[in-house]
Structure formats: C-alpha cells, structure tokens
Structure 1
Amino acid sequence: MYPKLPSLNVLKTFDAAARLKSFKKASEKLNVTPTAVSHQIKALEEGLGVSLFERRTRAVKLTRDGELLLNTTANIFRELNSTVNEIVSGKEVLTISTTSSFASMWLVPNLEKFYKAHPDIEVSLQAGEKKIDVMRDPYIDLAIRYGKYDPTDPGTSILVTEKIGMYATQAYLDGLTNPEDATLLETEWVNKSLPAIAWKTLFRQQGHDKNHPTYIVRQFDQEHHVIQAALAGQGIALVSSILVENALKEQWLVPFTSSDLQGEIEGLTYYLVMPPHNQRKESVITFTEWLLAEIQNSAL
C-alpha cells in the first residue's frame, strides 16, 4: 500500500483516463503519450495493490475500485478547480455546457442581465455539439441540452419547448415578387439522433405538398448559421423562435407568413442536466433560477 498519497499528477492522469474511458483520449487531453498514461496507471495500481481498469482491445472499463477512486478524484478536482478560479478572479466561476447555437444566439446576448444581478459569479461556457457526461465531468457545473426531453433521465428538468417559425429580413421579403421563388434555409443536424425540422416537414404538417422545382433549399449544420444566412438576406429561415428573439427585438428579422403557411410548429426541448453534487450549490441554484425566469419571459 502507498505509505503516502499518490501525486496530484498521477491522480489527474487516472481521472482523465477514467472519465474518457480511454488511455489514448486521456493522453490527447493531457498532451502526453499513451505510453506515459499507461505507465502512470500501472504504477498507481501497483502502489494501491488493486486493478483500477479492465483492459479491452479499444477501450478500458473501470473496476469497482476504479469507480470508487473516480468518485473521489472527481469531487477533489471539481472543488480544487472552483477554489483556484475564485482565488484568481475574485469571483466564483460557473461552467456551463450547451450547444453552439443556444450559446451564441440566446445565452451570450442575455448574460449581461445575469452579471448585473449577480456580479460575484462568472459564467464560463463550453459550447459544442458533443454530448458531455456531466455526471462524471468535474469541470461542468450544469448542462443545457437540446432534443427530446425524457423526464425519467436522472438530474434533468425541462427548460422550455421551442416553437419553430419562419423568419427573414424585411428587405428580402419586399424583394420577393413570387413566394415560390424564395430560397428556404434549414438545419441539417450534426447530431443525427435529432428528428429533422425541415421545410418538407412543415409542408407535410400543414397539409401542403410543396416539393416544387422552383424552391431552393439550402442547409447548414448549425442553427445559428441558418440565422446568420437569413440576417445576410439569403432566404427565409426555418428556426427556433427562442434563438431569433434578439433579432426580432432589433427588427433585423421579421416573421414570414403566406396564405399557404401559417403560424409556428412545435420544435424540440431545451432541458437542464444537473449533477447530483451540484444540486445544492448556491451559484448553480442562482443561475438556474435566473435562467428559468428569463427564458420563460422570452417565450411568452
């Protein structure tokens, strides 16, 4: 047995390998070689006198002892990261994981309101489409996810279910002599598990067959790219009413309606994922309460 605790560097290597379930991915995250990770893990196991991983061909799986150690290292690094950030910045840092579109089109434009109400809390965003296991990642305090909401998933709560509408610049609409000449903009999800929200879906739901050859449909793999294309006057965007809230307020975009297409359709859901260890964390509770109130107001 260890006469003293393993070094912080060894524990950090174990923590990365355990969370990523891969020595190779851990080496990439830590900027060391896979061999170095393997040697440190082996030394740690020999020092503890137990196996922490089951080695498999292309992955590793934690043993019971590995799970126990990961629970501890996750808590340690989470608290250490929070404390160091607070010392350096003088503020408590809250790390939020969310999608690129929600971060750029809704959260960032509204964050100043949060800062004015809570100047002692700094929000750090990790935006992207890769689904992070926030239940294991010690650096993520809260995740805002997008998709189909399952109320049976642990640690989740619904934020808002969006409406999908049609939006363009007034100048683009004024220039349309025939609506069937319009360029239609839509999102083709990077995440293929998400149900498609496409113009043909809208036409079908509203009882129209609009696969007319004069229609041009352009696709982007990020919803905020669709909105940016609409802002640039490139067509009519089929996007979330939540994400265009700021553009509508500033009158950069306006809703589009026609005799064939009316109103909005229901889209997908934004929901929160809160790790159990953060459910009583004051800054997480403060941010969550602000977020719920702010987004419900914007959805009215």
Structure 2
Amino acid sequence: MLRLPPLESLRFFEAAARHQSFARAASELDVTPAAVAHRIRTLEKHLEAELFDRRSRGVRLNRRGRAYLKEVQRILADVHGISQRHRREAPRVGIVSVEAVAERWLVPRLPSFRAAHPDIAIELETNHRGVDPQRSDFDCWLAYTGETSAPRPLTRREDTLLEETLYEEQLVPVCSPVLLAARGRLGSPAELHDWPLLYDLGWDADWSYWFARQGELTPDLSRASGFRLYSMVIQAAVNGIGAAIGRPMLIARELDRRTLVPIFDRQAEAPERCCLITTAASRHRPEVQAFRKWVLQEAKTAARTVADPVRTTP
C-alpha cells in the first residue's frame, strides 16, 4: 500500500511556500491561517521533517522545503494536465497578457483563432507587469522582456517556463493630423519640448528612451499627461490632446486609417520585445500547441504589415 501524505495538504503547502506566508496562502485558498498551519503541520508530521523555519515575523522555506516545493509543483502541474485531458468540457487555454497587448493586439485577432479552433475556449487575464515566475496557474503569458530573441528557459524556473519572441517593437512619436497641421511640421526632436506630451504610466520611460536615441535631452515631463491604460493614451492622441509615443504593433489600425501620423521619420528600437512564455506542464496539450502555433504566425504576419511604420504626412 502506498503511504501517501494527505493530498489536500500538498495544495496548502504549495500556496504557503509560494507566498512564503500562511496568511496570504489562506487568503488565496479562502480559509483561515490556522487551517493552513494545521495542514502544514499534518504534512510535516507525515514527512517527519519540518519544511518551514518559523520566525516571529512569519515563516520561510528551509532547504528541505525548497526541494519539496519543486517536486510538489511538478506533481500538481502533472495532475492538472492529466485532469484537463480527461475532463469532458471544452479544452481551455489560460492566458495572461500585458493589458496593452491583450486589448490592442491579441483580442482583435482572436476571431481568427476561434474560427480555426471552435472547440478551444480562451481564458484571458490582463497584467501590466512582466511575467511572474512563481505563478503556475496559466498556460501562456504575453509579456515584454528585454532578453534575446532565441527561445530560452526563463530564470528561476528553468525547467518549467520557455520564452519565445513574438515581435520586436519600435517607438515613434505620433499625433493626430489635425494637431500636426495646427502645430506645423517640426524640424528637430528638440522642438517637441514645447508640445503637450502623453504617456502610459506603465511605460513612463518611453519618451526619455526615444529622446536619448535621438541624441537629445529629455523634456520636462512634469507637464505631460499620464494614463494607466495605453488605449487611453492612444485615444487622447487621436483626439488631439497631445503627442504620444506610438508602438506600431499596437497602433497599426490608427496608422492605417491615418487617425494618427508619425511626427518624424525617426524611430527607436524599444528596450524590450514582446514574448510568449509557455509552461512545460501545458506545452504538450493540443490546445496550447494550437494557440502557440497560431499566435506566433499572427505575430509574424503583423510584423511584416508594420515593417515600415514611419510614414511622413504629405
């Protein structure tokens, strides 16, 4: 007979170890911290070894706990994958994406994926920050990173996450044709210092980065207007409120319709690239393979479409 630990305690241990906190694990699992502590003690009793160092300010995984966590996460991921394959409901791909990419690049393209794979459901969550290597509750993550374009393991969970470049991004100042006509064509980037500038609060260094690549000092951005969503920045620019740093892959529609136009024929390569991160636990599933193949092809096609994003206004 197999001498197994209480299987429910593994889920409690994984959450507590991932958060390094019984309280945060309890909040995630919707139980009390005491319930988490009890399950952990039960597991440690079964193993006849402690997994955490208890301290006055909380808990921390010890050496044995870190090794055990790696194995438990792999087992739970395998069980999840097996269960998903045997469930009767439609196959599902869990995706986390940067807000701007989800709203302006991915979602408008999803109808073609749905048409090609009508039996695959999509579960999409947005996140403005980069990928969290500690999370295990996703299949694919679309995020910006500054790493190389070759497929590579992601730091800290080398055996579980793989990163592949979707597309490289450019930065180019854009504004509405009406604003450009009113202000007049500029002779140099320095003349933008007197313009009303717009920026995304999550990409607040884009203007500085672009000006630096032009060999110019960054203007005083204290008078610039910031927005939490990139879609708000772009809508404000379309409405003539000011000039924004455009990312051509995300504003292809506005450039094509000429509701936004480049202010200069100067662009700068963005400091990061948009990447697809997949988990080893889900990568073998047919639905994830289908999404990966589709999204990489979409990115390749889109990159060709906006290969020459800078177009001056007649």
User: What TM bracket, shorter-length normalisation?
Assistant: 0.7 to 0.9
CA distance in 1, matches of 2:37, 2:238: 50
Instruction: Return the alpha-carbon distance in structure 2 between the equivalents of residues 296 and 95 of structure 1.
Output: 22
The answer on whether the counterparts of 1:146 and 1:271 sit within 8 Å (CA) in structure 2 is yes
Partner residue of 1:69? 72
The alpha carbon displacement at 1:132 in A equals 4.6
Report SS of the residue matched to 1:129: coil
Unaligned runs of 5+ in 2: 155-161, 187-191, 305-314
TM (normalized to structure 2)?
0.77
For 1:254 and 1:66, locate their aligned partners in 2 and report how far apart those are by CA, in whole Å.
Answer: 50
Matched residues in 2 for 1:71 and 1:284: separation? 18
Q: In 1, Cα distance between the equivalents of 2:82 and 2:110?
A: 24
State the shift of 1:63 in Å.
Answer: 4.0
Q: How does 1:279-298 map to 2 (within 5 A)?
A: 279-298=283-302
Amino acid across the alignment from 1:143 = W
Relative distance call for 1:100 and 1:210 in structure 2 (3 A) is: closer
Q: Aligned-pair distance for 1:222? A: 4.1
SS at match of 1:248: helix
Does residue 162 of structure 1 match 2:160? no
Q: Report if aligned partners of 2:5, 2:46 keep a CA contact under 8 Å in 1.
A: no
Match of residue 142 from structure 2: 144
Q: CA RMSD in A?
A: 3.1
From 195, 204, 213, the equivalent of 1:182 is 195
Alignment of 1:75-94 (within 5 A): 75-80=78-83, 82=84, 87=88, 90-94=89-93
Query: Secondary structure at 2:198's aligned position in 1?
Result: strand
2:107, 2:67 → 1: CA distance?
41
Tell me how far apart the structure 2 counterparts of residues 233 and 218 of structure 1 sit (CA, whole Å): 13
* Aligned twin of 2:248: 241
> 1:3 deviation in Å?
5.9
Aligned letter for 2:170?
K
Superposition pairs of residues 17-36 of structure 1, within 5 angstroms: 17-36=16-35
Whether 1:229 aligns to 2:232 is: no
Residue segments in structure 1 that go unaligned for 5+ positions in a row: none
Structure 1 equivalent of residue 6 of structure 2: 6
Aligned equivalents of 1:131 and 1:206: distance in 2? 27
Aligned residues: 284
**1:269 corresponds to 2:269:** no
| 1:24-60 alpha-carbon deviations (Å, 9 max, x no partner) | 2211111222222111211222234333334454442
Q: CA deviation at 1:298?
A: 1.3
Aligned to 2:211: 203
- The CA deviation string for residues 55-112 of structure 1, in whole angstroms up to 9 with x for no partner, is 45444222433432332123223543x358x53xx42110112211111111111111
User: Matched residue of 1:189: which SS?
Assistant: helix
